[in-house]
Structure 1
Amino acid sequence: MKVIVDPDRCVGNGICEALAPELFEVAVSGQARLLVDEISSDQQQLAQQAVDSCPALALTIVP
């Protein structure tokens, strides 16, 4: 499982980072970025919660 951040939609509000700091960070540029290449099975629920909570709909889960 992977998460893709759409830089055109991301507004850098930091909800993903607040929910899953081991998976996401908001860079100085104001864009969220994923800190891991693959989401482990024990982190999938956390990643899903971050995706569902993104108000800009900038995060997408791909298999």
Structure 2
Amino acid sequence: MQAMVDKDKCIGCGLCPTICTQVFGMGEDGKAEVMCEGLGEEVQDSAQEARDGCPVDAISIEA
């Protein structure tokens, strides 16, 4: 699985790295970014929680 952040939609609220620090971080542009290649089983649930909590639906997770 791979997480992606749509930088055009992201408002930089910081929720995703708060929920899933192993996958998401905040870039120098103040917007979220994915910090790893692929999602291991141990982080899939929290990454999906971050996706579901994103107020602007900027996060997608694909197989």
Aligned residues between the structures:
63
Whichever residue aligns with residue 29 of structure 1, its letter is D
- TM-score scaled by length of structure 2: 0.94
The equivalent residue for 1:47 is 47
Q: Distance in 2 between matches of 1:25 and 1:4?
A: 12
Q: Structure 1: any 5+ residue segments left out of the alignment?
A: none
TM-score, structure 1 normalization? 0.94
In structure 2, what is the equivalent of residue 3 of structure 1?
3
SS at match of 2:61: strand
Quote the sequence identity (%): 32
Moved over 3 A (4+): none
Unaligned runs of 5+ in 2: none
